[in-house]
Amino acid sequence: MRMTWTPTPVRDEEAFAAIKSGIDALPPGVKMLLNSGEQSSFDVPGRLLDSCTGTPAEFYGNGLTTANLELLARFFEKHPGYADRTFLSVKGGSVPGVLIPDGSRQNLRRSVDASIKALRGTKRIDLFQQGRLDPKYSIEQQAGFLNEMVKEGKFDHIGLSVVGAETIRRAHKVRSFSANPSI
């Protein structure tokens, strides 16, 4: 079910019903992963909501907007008790309006801040992932930029997308040792 990345976005009530039904189907104490990403799909109904289908990401609205994060903000405003029942993963780090990676400190910060702003304080980002690594910056630099924001409390965990094991090992060496270190 595409929610926002479509010429005719789904009405809020229809989207909210789908989100609620997925969360409500889970056993007590289990969180639903709200996963955003630039090349994913709604493959596991009732277990995974993906931004490409219209839930959370910096660039997953028609025209590469934050429409899906804004949809989630409206959902959590109407149903605040559901925020703690979800784990929100947001991909970002692209040049605004195009799916070209920009792993600069300034752009990653802009991406995280745009995602936080779109959520309007309704839900914290649990995991932030760069959609793709920027070849102009080493993984150590990009992980360092993201670690700065973990230490600032902007989100809790760092994820990597479309990378191999060696890249993960290199990123892990520069991970944050804050209260909630995770990469």
Catalytic positions, written as ranges: 60
Nearest to 90 by CA among 45, 49, 142: 49
Say how far apart CA 86 and CA 35 lie, in whole Å: 10
Q: Are 57 and 38 in contact (CB under 8 A)?
A: yes
What are the Cα distances from residue 32, in Å, to 69, 71, 86?
16, 17, 5
